[in-house]
Structure 1
């Protein structure tokens, strides 16, 4: 981003955003975690001993679920970063506020306990967890779908924990190893997103989907479509109206070849 655009970025106060984490939101997150664990446990119990369950079915469902969770993490992250306002009822404080706080104080997540780190993801995963549990397990296809959905939301739940570790100065040794071999989100890879104005590399489960999505211009294309349909300005609440307008104009003027070159730039690992 140009120096001129950087100077126009106007973010919200970190302390004010942090105060938005209320006792009511925490209570909702505790209930969500308990419900999520209950549904996932019930799913494992229901799958256990099913004649259609096999090692290759489970392995393929878990891997595909991991890729799907990475994409879902990027989609949700992009939505939280780009649209809406922290002043919106319910959604503003419970879902949008943490994204905006993270851009202002990226180390805040390392000070969050297990509930604050993972409660939101458990909450949004509950409908899918219930669906995974309720689909019929009468054939290999249904069992695969159920296992895939259960695995995907498990990784979705783990996403914020992986994200937290990517900002931790000295994570446990095993976590550092998994980051170095890029089996969970590496710090250097994620640092690309934390370059103002925070408009790329949204996938934060493992980050494998970031380059493919950048190559096809997925998120920038979605932004142009939503702006064309609704007139809403991407990132207005996060970086301020002036910077958001400047960024839209800069993206419109950028050549496709420049976007390809940017997405192809190697990212060093932690």
Structure 2
């Protein structure tokens, strides 16, 4: 395997996981930058031989400059960073297209988007994480592809438009369900019931969704149009009007999707 020198720009959740993973894969992650020195030093301490700094004007030469900061911070970082002419600069954002590099035409832009959720203290099995790649120049595909393949067994070339849709889908699959699980946790806590009661239900729900089209296995009072139960549920959430409103909206969405599916099935039978 070819080993590359890498400068990591960002010491947040993605950088905390990605920097050590790249080092473990055999690459020389030589330098870590962050706005705060403590954050840069914390990530650098987990990478053998890495230095840490808060300066963007003194970046060492490298094969790859990996930008792992929030989407909104990427343009500002690119504008401020002292990058060698011809440098390969790759961001990790899901919803940011290659046009962000237009302001720095002297560098070669690219994307390495890891399709995973990252939290401190959680172990990530990088071999299973889909890595979605894109490059502005075809000649950079080999280098970026080699780095990605050293991390994951699931490497895909995905253009900016596809990646945006993927990122939206990921929010629906990860961030929104997590919020809904948080509401479930809070309601059980208020009732004096343990969160563990929902574990078998959550596990079966996820198992079904991963093996069948999720809309096709929808259950619950909404799809049954059980108005009495729906009314009792809404009343039980009286102390949380924002959750009541969300419950009503999701109920309507479930019913609308089911109605559309039924209409399509009926049309198919008539044909």
The TM-score with structure 1 as length reference comes to: 0.24
Which structure has the highest helix share of the two? Answer: 1
Which structure has the highest strand share of the two? Answer: 2
Whichever of the two has the greater Rg, that structure is: 2
Q: Which has the higher contact order (CA 8 A, sep 6+)?
A: 1
The TM-score with structure 2 as length reference comes to: 0.24
